[in-house]
Structure 1
Amino acid sequence: MLKKIPRLLLILMLLGVHQNSWSQANFKVQIGQIDSLYSEVLQESREIYIQLPESFNPQSDVKYPVAYIIDGDVMLNALHTVHSYYSGGFIPEMILIGISNAENRTRDLTTSELSERREQVYSEENGGAEKFTQFIESELFPFVENNYPATNYRTLIGHSYGGLFTVNTLLKHPDLFANYLAIDPSMDWDDQKLLKESQEILSQKSFNGKSLFVSLGGQLHMADTDITIDNVMKDTTEFTLFARSNIELSNIVNYNKHNGLGFYWKFYPNDLHGTIPLPSIMDGLIEVFSWYQMEDINKFNDPETPKEVLYDIIKRRETKLKAHFGYAVAPYPDFLFNMSGYMSMDMGYPEKALMYFQLNTEYYPDDANTYDSLADYYEAQNDTGNALKNVLKAYELSGSDYHKKRLEQLRAR
């Protein structure tokens, strides 16, 4: 039988292990646009925080995958920081949606209902994760996808109780998201109820195409520094139940590799429960989007690489991205095609330059600048007819004085 934990030590442990209302209220950092919707499911209004990608152009038809983060009023800042540094080369540009859980956090995110915890009455409303999932699926998704340039390729990120909610969503509603980041999840909730359920679910369901990243912070035992990652599983006290539950989840997932779930687990020995979100978001997104990272960069940097080889690399990446996202997406951003085109012109490789510029108009047909750049190429080749044709297209898209003036100059030749 577990020893009863002294009340003062229990309070200190809870402050270290679980987020609480005062910390959320005092440390809010608002990023992006605040929006809200009324939920018939929850019978209340819910705030959300919307951060659009830097490349967003309201005149463009480009749509983006979406990353949803629980506790968005306090967590979106960390997600935005990671996205700002790593989008493009390591992870795709995404719309970031922060869901507020400031008012009824425990109710929204815990996965089963209990009235007693650690031999004490537990009076806070809890166990509403399934209803909160229903709100996300039936109300939040349609709201976001009807009002913002969002696709249905989604990533879910949650910390602590939010991590518990994230694991529950993967196990019971795997098709709602493609990727799941459970940061220091509270898998000890309700005597490890969800953890125990996971054994059967992970052994029987298929999770092909889904990815899960789980992190564990360095607070393995709140009162004994001799407990390490090497011996924590030998401890049987409630002090280590949080950490042991996390490790047990990792073991269960690894035992069921046949289900196709892409799984990544990482221990952060120098991070506390409150500091682990930022590195976990960074590592987690890089891991679950490892397939997105650019390949064969050295061949693009080598001027001797034949045009045909480069073309094949671009087309293979296009095919790969479509297979993962489920819809067609440009293999590289427009500025990269543009830059490669001008560099090829400067180095005396006109055939490569033409390939890059033409591909840019293929992948970004509504961007006036792609046609303007292609016109630069034709003008450099003394092909006024094709230069005029592409500037005309650019002017039709932009209506700008710059393109109008350039059009007049070419016609005057």
Structure 2
Amino acid sequence: MSSIKELSYPHQGCEEYVITAGERKLEYRILLSHPSGEAPPEGYPVIYALDGNAVFHTLAEAARLQTRKPHGFDPVVIVAIGYPSGEAFDMTRRCYDFTIPVLEQTLPKRPDGSNWPEHGGADSFLDVLQDEIMPLISSLFPVDGSRQALFGHSLGGLFVLHALFTRPELFTHYAAGSPSVWWGDYSVLAEQERFSADYPLRQLQRKLLITIGAKELDHMVEDAEKLPLLLEPLAEWGLQVNLAKFAEERHVSVLPAALSRLLKFALT
């Protein structure tokens, strides 16, 4: 990692790191919410959340409330990964980091008619997670290697699927919110086919949560509902897949419900 800068953060129990990472030496904003209690003997579970500028406060507060004793979940480290722009959804950066390489002609026209930002950097971003961000967190907290979760929404949900299908050893819990399965004429489903053929040989126990708002675009809902069916044969080989469909919620309004369900999924 080329550089790390620790910054103060205006909320108790939270702090911010700015890192310069990866081959391109890009800047990332790492928002941390500290656990509210002592680490279990095996260490803290960790939840890594993409689009950190959008989700950090909601997720950190939900974790604070849901880990209260005596009936709460175990204390958890929340790691939200954002960008220096401070935008809730930095389309230029996330489009590169969260997507797999595809031909331009396989992408739909954007609503405003503009060209798609540079895309196809998902593997590079996975390297940043694996080689730089996760070791940083392990240097700051004792972590439980059996409870490491990754959450992403929309294009971030696509990235979570890509991570599961190509590096299932990296995390134990994968949570894909409203995943953009349509990206590049459903290129991620080719990865799913290879994953399904290979997974029985890996001897892994993994969990996948898919969340979707019932009032999102019809094809988004259909794609989310199709994924558990495609992956169902892997249940006997240790892959547990759950779908959470939230009534009355749309593509953005579903986020708070998905983040709350994420905690139960990652910490139960």
Deviations 1:159-204 (Å, cap 9, x if unpaired)?
Answer: 1111111111111111111111111111111111102331331243
8 Å CA contact retained: 1:36, 1:48: yes
Residue pair 2:173, 2:208 contacting (<8 A) in 1 also:
yes
Q: 1:124 to 1:90 in 2, by over 3 A?
A: same
Q: CA deviation at 1:118?
A: 2.2
Asked if the contact 1:30/1:77 (under 8 Å) is kept, the reply is: no
The alpha carbon displacement at 1:119 in A equals 5.7
Per the TM alignment, residue 157 of structure 1 is displaced from its structure 2 partner at its CA by: 0.9
- Correspondence 1:2-401 to 2 at 5 A: 32-55=14-37, 63-87=43-67, 89-101=71-83, 102=90, 104-116=93-105, 117-118=107-108, 122-152=115-145, 153-206=147-200, 208-221=204-217, 240-290=218-268
Which ranges in structure 2 are unaligned for 5 or more consecutive residues?
1-9, 84-89
Contact 2:150–2:160 under 8 Å retained in 1? yes
Separation in 2 of the partners of 1:64 and 1:185? 27
- Match of 2:4? none
Aligned CA distance change for structure 1 residues 78 and 284 (closer, same or farther; 3 Å): same
One-letter amino acid of the structure 2 residue matched with residue 210 of structure 1: R
Is 71-80 or 99-108 further displaced after alignment? 99-108
Q: In structure 2, what residue type is equivalent to 1:118? A: P
Q: Give a deviation string over 1:330-351, Cα, whole Å, max 9, x none.
A: xxxxxxxxxxxxxxxxxxxxxx
SS across alignment from 1:118? coil
Structure 1 segments of 4 or more deviating over 4 A?
Answer: none
Q: Which has the higher strand share?
A: 2
- TM-score by length of structure 2 reads 0.80
Larger radius of gyration: 1
Higher helix share goes to which structure? 1
Between the aligned residues of both structures, percent identity stands at: 20
CA contact (8 A) 1:39 1:45 kept: yes
CA distance in 1, matches of 2:23, 2:237: 32
- Paired residues, number: 242
Q: Structure 1 123/286 Cα, relative in aligned 2: closer, same or farther at 3 Å?
A: closer
Aligned to 1:355: none
Counterpart contact for 2:162–2:191, Cα < 8 Å: no
Preserved CA contact (<8 Å) 2:177 2:258: yes
Q: TM-score, normalised by structure 1?
A: 0.54
Partner of residue 6, structure 2:
none
Q: 1:77 to 1:264 in 2, by over 3 A?
A: same
The DSSP-based 3-state class of the residue aligned with 2:252 is: coil
The Cα of 1:269 is off from its aligned counterpart by 2.3
Q: Larger RCO: Structure 1 or Structure 2 (Cα < 8 Å, ≥ 6 residues apart)?
A: 2
Measured after TM superposition, the shift of residue 131 of structure 1 is 0.5
Deviations 1:67-120 (A, max 9, x none): 110011111112112212222545321111010143611100012233232267
Equivalent residue, structure 2, for 1:329: none
SS in 2 for 1:283: helix
Cα 1:269–1:62 shift into 2, 3 Å: closer
SS of 1:164 mapped into structure 2 = helix
Query: In 1, are the aligned partners of 2:213 and 2:247 still within 8 Å (CA)?
Result: yes
